[in-house]
Amino acid sequence: MEHEGLLGGFKNDEPKSANRNSRYQIVIAVLALLLISAWSQINNSKISTNDAYGIGGLLPDFISNLYADKQEDLLFAYKSSDCPYEEWNQLTTTELSRKKEIHDEYFRKMDFEHFHPFLYHTKPSAMSAFAHKDQIVVTLTSENMMHATMYCRYYDCRRREISVPFKSAIFHKSTVFCARRPNAKYIAISATANEIPEYSIPIVPRIEKPPHYFTVCMAPLYGDEAKFLQIVDFIEYHKLQGATFFHIYLRNVSDYDRMLLDEYVKTGDIEIIKMHDHFWRADYMWHDAQINDCHHRSKYFSKWTAFIDIDERLEMNGAQFKTVVDYLDTFHTASIANLHFRVKWVMKHNNTPERYENDKQLTSEMLFHKYQNLSRIGKVWQQPKCIIRPENVAFMTIHQPLTMYKGEKDTIVDENIGFIRHYRNIQQRVFRESPDGMVNAMMSHGPYSIQPIDQWIEKNLTENILSRVKLVYDIVDVTCDQKKKMYDVEQVTAPCTIGKQDLFTKQ
C-alpha cells in the first residue's frame, strides 16, 4: 500500500530510514535554491551601488565603505546649476564712468546731417566684450547705428539671463558701454529690452595690471596673395622691436598660410580674431571694425599698442634708439598718448611666394632683401600710423585717434627717430586705380634711394624667419613605402600609391 506524503510518495515495504533520508535531501535542495536566489539579489544591489561610483564589478564591503564615507573635494562641490564664485565679478555699477561726459560732448559736435550710414546691418552684432573696473565695453561689427539706443543683456555662466537690461547707446559706430553686474559671464546687445537678442558673447576681464608693455594690432588678412612669408616677416620683425603679443584679425587666408598662424597661436605669440557676421560686406570694409575692436581689446592688456598693416614695419633710426621699446621707455607721463609716425614707401613689384621650397628661395624672397628702394618721408597726414596708450584714447581710426580721454592727441615722431616702412604692392587689388596709376602715385613720393634695414635686424630677422618657417613647413618626410606601412596598419590606401601628393611633403 502506498501513502502520499508532503514530499512525494513511498511504499510501505521500503525501509523507514531510507524514506526519511530522501525527504531530508529534498528539503535541503529547496533551501539551497532559496539561499542562492537571495544571495543573487544582494549581489545585484551591491553592483548597482558600485556602479554609482563608476565601478563595474562587485567590491568588498570595506572598499565600498571607503567610497561611501569619502567627502567631496571642495573644488568639485557644486551642481550643474551652480556658477563658480569669482572675486573680480561681484561688482554692481549703477551708471557709467565720467568718460560718458566725453562721449556726449563728442556727439554734440557731430554733424549728423552729413553722416551716411555704412553697410546694411539690422542688428548690432556683438563682437567682443571686456570688463573694466567700472564698466563693460562691448564692440560691435555693425557700423550703421550711430548713437542708437541699445540694451545690455546679462547672462551667468550657464547663459541664464540675470538682472534687468541696462539702457545705453552706441558710441560712434561700433561700441556700447554697459554697467557691471555680479556674476555676469556673457553679454548680448539688443535694440529693445524685451526682444530676443543675438547670441551672447563671453566677457573677458581686463581688471588687473596689463600683462604686456608693447603689443601690435594687425589689420585684417584677406585677398588672394599668399601671406605666410609676410606674416612671419611682420611678427618676427616686430618681436625684434620689442613687441610681445600680436592681435591678428582674419577674414580669409589659404590653408597653407593658416598653418603658420596656428603655430603662432600654439606658442602664445598671437590671438586670432575671426572677422565675420551674417551681414554682407566686402573684405576690405572690415578695417574700421577691426581698429575699434583691437583698441578696446588692448585696453589694460598692454601699455602701448601699434596699429599697422601686414605690409608695414615700424622702423627706428639706430643712431638714437635701437628698438621701438627703447623709444617708448623714454616716456614717463600719461600726457603722451599717441605717437604719430610718418611713412616712407617701398614699391613691391611682385607677389610673395605661395610656398616654402628651400632656404635659398625663401631668403631671396624676404621683403627686406628684395625691396630696398625707399621713398622720401611722407607728409604728416599722408597715411600715418600710430602707437597709442589705449586707455587714454576715446575713439581710434585707421590713421589717428579722433577723441581723447586724456593726453595729447598727436605727438609727431621726428623722421630722424623713426618712421613706417610701407611695402606697397603696386598690383592694385581693391580700389579702382590701375597698376600704372598706382606706379604714378608711388612715384609722386620720390625721390627714392636704396636704404636697407639695420644689419643687426637683417641678420636676426633672416635667421628667425627661416627657423619658424622650417618648423612649420619643412616636414621630415619618409618614403612612400614607409608611409604605406603605416597606412596598412589601419587598412587604408596610402595616397602616394595612387598618385596623390601630401599637402606639405613631396611624396
Q: Does the domain at residues 89-205 carry the CATH identifier 1.20.58?
A: no
Tell me what the pLDDT averaged over the chain comes to: 88
Instruction: Collect all residues with Cβ–Cβ distance below 8 Å to 299 and sequence separation of at least 6.
Output: 130, 132, 137, 206, 390, 391
pLDDT above 90 for 158? yes
Write the DSSP assignment of 206-241 as a string of letters: --SS-SEEEEEEEEEE-SSS--HHHHHHHHHHHHHT
User: Among 107, 109, 143, which Cα is nearest to 124's?
Assistant: 143
At position 159, the amino acid (one-letter code) is R
Q: In this structure, how many other beta carbons lie within 10 angstroms of the beta carbon of residue 79?
A: 5
Across the range 323-351, mean pLDDT stands at 96
Note the pLDDT of residue 63. Answer: 57
pLDDT tens profile 44-103: 554 444 444 444 455 566 555 656 667 888 888 889 999 999 999 999 998 887 777 888
| Grid coordinates of 379 | 607728409
CB of 340 within 8 A of CB of 413? yes
Instruction: Specify the pLDDT at position 40.
Output: 59
Residue 258 reports pLDDT greater than 70: yes
Residue 391's pLDDT is 96
- Among 193, 233, 178, smallest CA distance to 423 is for 233
pLDDT in the model for residue 223: 94
What pLDDT, in 10s, does the model give residues 364-401? 999 999 999 999 999 999 999 999 999 999 999 999 99
Q: Which of 92-101, 217-226, 231-240 has the lowest mean pLDDT?
A: 92-101
Architecture of domain 212-472: Alpha-Beta Complex (3.90)
The average pLDDT across 125-152 equals 96
Condensed to tens digits (0 to 9), the pLDDT of residues 178-204 reads 999 999 999 999 999 999 999 999 999
The pLDDT value given to residue 485: 95
Residue type, 415: E
Query: Model confidence over 397-407: pLDDT tens digits?
Result: 999 999 999 99
* Per-domain boundaries in the chain: 2-69, 89-205, 212-472, 476-507
- Looking at per-residue pLDDT, the higher value among 71 and 463 belongs to 463
- In the predicted model, what is the mean pLDDT of residues 465-480? 95
**In the predicted model, what is the mean pLDDT of residues 257-267?**
98
